C-alpha cells in the first residue's frame, strides 16, 4: 500500500464504520479508524447482542413458568439468577466483539486504529484527543462519520438527578427489580419491558400516545393485548411530568397518577452522537442532531460521508452496515445507492413484530389505490399446532396490479418470515404469485401464502394443504 493511496478517516467502530473501513480497504484505500469508546459500538456491546440474549433467557423463563402445553407438561416458576445470566451474556458479547471486530481490525494492514475522540478542524483535517493523552491531527482525502447514537434523556423535571436505567445499564443490571416502570413505547422499550416482566418484574409501560405509534395501529393493539395477557400494565396517553428518587424508590408523576417502582427504565428514543464533531464548522448539516445524507450517503460537504444511527436513517445495524459499505464504494469513486424501500424491521418481543415495505397509511399517502387483507392466526396451521393463535399477518397490495406493497406481521418468529416478504417486494411479486408459490407446510411463513390467497379466496374453506 503506497502513501499515495486514498486516505479515508473513519470515525467510530460500530456496524456502519466497520463496514465502511473494510469495504474501503478492499478498494485499495488506507484507513485511519478512530474510536473513543469500546471497539464494536452499540450492536455487539450494548444493543442487539446483549438484548437478544436477555430476551432469549427471559423467553425460556416464561416457558418454564407457563406454556400452551402445561396440562401435559408440568410448569414451574423458574429461579432466575441474574448474575449468572449476565456472566453468560457478557462472555458471548466479548467473544463476538473479539471475533467480529477487534481481531479483524488487528489483522487488517490497511487499517490503523486510533483510540480517542475525533472532531473536525476543516473539511480535510480532524484532531483526535487520544484516550492515552495528547492530541493527533489526521489529514484525510475523504471522511466517514459513523458515530452512532445514545439513549435520549427526555426533558422530565427531576429525571436527570435520579439513577434511572437506560437500555445500556438495564442490560447489565444484576438484579431483577420487583417493580419496574418503563418510559417509552418503541422497539427497545417494549423488548426490555417484556424481558424484565418474564424474568419476574412487575412492569408498567408509559406510552406518550400508544405502543409503536409509527406502525400500523393494529400492531400496537396486538402488542398491548399480548402484554396484558402477561400482566404487563400499559398506560396509553401517559406522560411523566416529574421523576424523583429517594429511599431506594422512584416516584414518577404522570397525568394518570403517581407511580412508584424500584427501577425506572427510560427508553424514549436515541440521540445522534454529533455535537462533539464540530460539524457546523465544516458545513455538515444536521436536523435535530441527525446528519443529513443524500442517496449516496454523502453529507452536505463533498467528500464527507455518513451512515448509521448518527444520520436520519432507520436505526438498525444492517441499515448502518449497508450504508457504510455503500459510502465506502462512493468515497472510492463509485456511485452506489442505498434502497430502503423494502427494508425489514423486527421487534424481538413475543409475539414478534416484523414489517417490510409500506403500511396501508403510507401507501395511501403515496397515492396508491390499495387493497389490504388481514389474516388472523387461527387460519395458520403452524399457529394452531403451537396452540398460540394470537396475532395476524397483514398484506397491502396495489389494487389494480395486485403488486405487493407491504407486509406487517405480529406472530411467533415474525422476524424469520419477513425476509420472504422482502424478497417478494424486491422482485415486484403480485399477491397472486405469492399465493401460487410452494411454502413448506407447518411453518409460520406459510401464513404469507395464505394471507396472499385471501385476496381471492376464503382461506377458512381451504383444505389444510392449500395448493
Ligand atoms: C437495546 C438495543 C437493541 C437493539 N437491537 C437491535 C437488533 O436486534 N437489530 C438491529 O438491527 N438493531 C438493533 N439495535 C440498533 C443497532 O444497535 C444500531 O442501529 C447500530 O448498532 C448502529 O450502528 P452505528 O455504527 O451507526 O453506531 P454505533 O454502533 O453506535 O457506533 C458508533 C461508535 O462511534 C463512537 N464515537 C462516537 N462519537 C465519536 C467521536 N467523536 N470520536 C470517536 N468515536 C466516536 C462510539 O463510541 C461508538 O462506538 C438495537 C439498539 C439498542 C440500543
pLDDT of residue 459: 80
What are the pLDDT digits (tens) for 88-142?
A: 999 999 999 999 999 999 999 999 999 999 999 999 999 999 999 999 999 999 9
pLDDT of residue 466: 59
Please, what are the domains in the chain? 7-150+271-331 (3.50.50.60), 159-268 (3.50.50.60), 344-456 (3.30.390.30)
pLDDT of residue 467: 66
Cα(431)–Cα(450) distance, integer angstroms? 10
Collect all residues with Cβ–Cβ distance below 8 Å to 143 and sequence separation of at least 6: 8, 9, 10, 11, 120, 126, 303, 304, 305
Cα(351)–Cα(265) distance, integer angstroms? 22
What are the pLDDT digits (tens) for 142-163?
A: 999 999 999 999 999 999 999 9
Q: Is 63 annotated as a binding residue?
A: no
For range 319-346, the mean pLDDT: 97
Cα(403)–Cα(416) distance, integer angstroms? 22
For range 381-392, the mean pLDDT: 97
Cell of 128: 483526535
Of ligand 1's listed atoms, the one at least distance from the Cα of 307 is 26
* The pairing of beta strand 233-235 with beta strand 392-398: unpaired
Cα(152)–Cα(454) distance, integer angstroms? 42
Q: 41: Cβ below 6 Å to ligand 1?
A: yes
Q: Mutual orientation of helices 414-426 and 446-453 as an angle, nearest 10°?
A: 60
pLDDT greater than 90 at residue 463: no
Q: Is 186 annotated as a binding residue?
A: yes
Cα(45)–Cα(93) distance, integer angstroms? 6
pLDDT greater than 90 at residue 464: no
Collect all residues with Cβ–Cβ distance below 8 Å to 467 and sequence separation of at least 6: none
pLDDT greater than 90 at residue 334: yes
pLDDT greater than 60 at residue 1: no
Q: Is 309 annotated as a binding residue?
A: yes
Nearest C-alpha neighbor of 263 from the set 378, 180, 148, 188:
180
Collect all residues with Cβ–Cβ distance below 8 Å to 313 and sequence separation of at least 6: 293, 307, 319, 320, 323, 338, 340
pTM of this prediction? 0.96
Nearest C-alpha neighbor of 284 from the set 323, 312, 317:
312
Cα(130)–Cα(148) distance, integer angstroms? 19
Please tell me the number of Cα atoms within 13 Å of 245 on its side-chain side.
14
Between the CA of 324 and the centroid of ligand 1 the distance, in Å, is 13
Q: 147: Cβ below 6 Å to ligand 1?
A: yes
What are the pLDDT digits (tens) for 210-248?
A: 999 999 999 999 999 999 999 999 999 999 999 999 999
* Residue for grid cell 407446510: 441
For range 305-324, the mean pLDDT: 98
Amino acid at each position: 500500500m503506497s502513501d499515495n493511496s486514498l486516505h479515508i478517516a473513519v470515525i467510530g467502530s460500530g456496524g456502519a464504520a466497520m463496514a465502511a473501513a473494510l469495504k474501503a480497504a478492499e478498494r485499495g484505500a488506507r484507513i485511519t479508524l478512530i474510536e473513543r469508546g469500546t471497539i464494536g459500538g452499540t450492536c455487539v456491546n450494548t444493543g442487539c447482542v446483549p438484548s437478544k440474549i436477555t430476551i432469549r433467557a427471559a423467553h425460556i423463563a416464561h416457558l418454564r413458568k407457563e406454556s400452551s402445553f402445561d396440562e401435559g407438561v408440568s410448569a414451574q416458576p423458574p429461579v432466575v439468577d441474574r448474575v449468572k445470566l449476565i456472566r453468560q451474556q457478557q462472555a458471548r458479547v466479548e467473544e463476538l466483539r473479539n471475533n467480529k471486530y477487534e481481531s479483524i481490525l488487528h489483522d487488517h494492514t490497511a487499517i490503523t486504529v486510533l483510540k480517542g475522540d475525533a472532531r473536525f478542524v476543516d473539511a480535510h483535517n480532524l484532531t483526535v484527543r487520544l484516550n492515552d493523552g495528547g492530541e493527533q491531527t489526521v489529514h484525510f482525502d475523504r471522511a466517514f462519520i459513523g458515530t452512532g447514537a445514545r439513549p435520549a434523556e427526555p426533558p422530565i423535571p427531576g429525571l436527570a438527578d435520579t439513577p434511572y436505567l437506560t437500555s445500556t445499564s438495564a442490560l447489565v443490571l444484576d438484579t431483577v427489580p420487583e417493580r419496574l416502570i418503563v418510559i417509552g413505547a418503541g422497539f427497545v422499550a417494549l423488548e426490555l419491558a417484556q424481558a424484565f416482566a418474564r424474568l419476574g418484574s412487575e412492569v408498567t409501560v408509559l406510552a406518550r400516545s400508544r405502543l409503536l405509534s409509527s406502525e400500523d395501529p393494529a400492531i400496537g393493539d396486538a402488542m398491548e393485548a399480548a402484554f396484558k395477557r402477561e400482566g404487563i400494565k400499559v398506560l396509553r396517553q401517559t406522560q411523566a411530568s416529574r421523576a424523583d428518587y429517594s429511599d431506594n424508590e422512584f416516584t414518577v408523576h404522570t397525568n394518570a397518577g403517581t407511580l412508584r417502582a424500584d427501577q425506572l427504565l427510560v427508553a424514549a428514543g436515541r440521540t445522534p452522537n454529533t455535537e462533539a464533531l464540530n460539524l457546523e464548522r465544516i458545513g455538515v448539516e444536521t436536523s435535530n442532531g441527525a446528519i443529513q445524507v443524500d442517496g449516496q450517503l454523502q453529507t452536505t460537504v463533498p467528500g464527507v460521508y455518513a451512515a448509521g444511527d448518527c444520520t436520519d436513517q432507520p436505526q438498525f445495524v444492517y441499515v448502518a452496515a449497508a450504508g457504510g459499505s455503500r459510502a465506502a464504494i462512493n468515497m472510492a469513486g463509485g456511485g452506489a445507492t442505498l434502497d430502503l424501500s423494502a427494508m425489514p424491521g423486527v421487534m424481538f418481543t413475543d409475539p414478534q413484530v416484523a414489517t417490510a415495505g409500506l403500511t396501508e397509511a403510507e401507501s395511501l399517502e403515496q397515492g396508491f389505490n390499495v387493497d389490504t387483507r388481514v389474516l388472523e392466526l387461527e387460519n395458520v396451521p403452524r399457529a394452531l399446532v403451537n396452540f398460540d393463535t394470537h396475532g395476524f399477518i397483514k398484506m397491502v397490495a396495489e389494487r389494480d396490479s395486485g403488486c405487493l406493497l407491504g407486509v406487517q406481521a405480529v406472530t411467533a418468529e415474525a422476524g424469520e418470515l419477513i425476509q420472504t416478504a422482502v424478497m417478494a417486494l424486491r422482485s415486484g411479486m403480485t399477491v397472486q404469485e405469492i399465493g401460487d408459490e410452494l411454502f413448506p407446510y407447518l411453518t409460520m411463513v406459510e401464513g404469507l401464502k395464505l394471507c396472499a390467497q385471501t385476496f381471492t379466496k376464503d382461506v377458512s374453506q381451504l383444505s389444510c394443504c392449500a395448493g
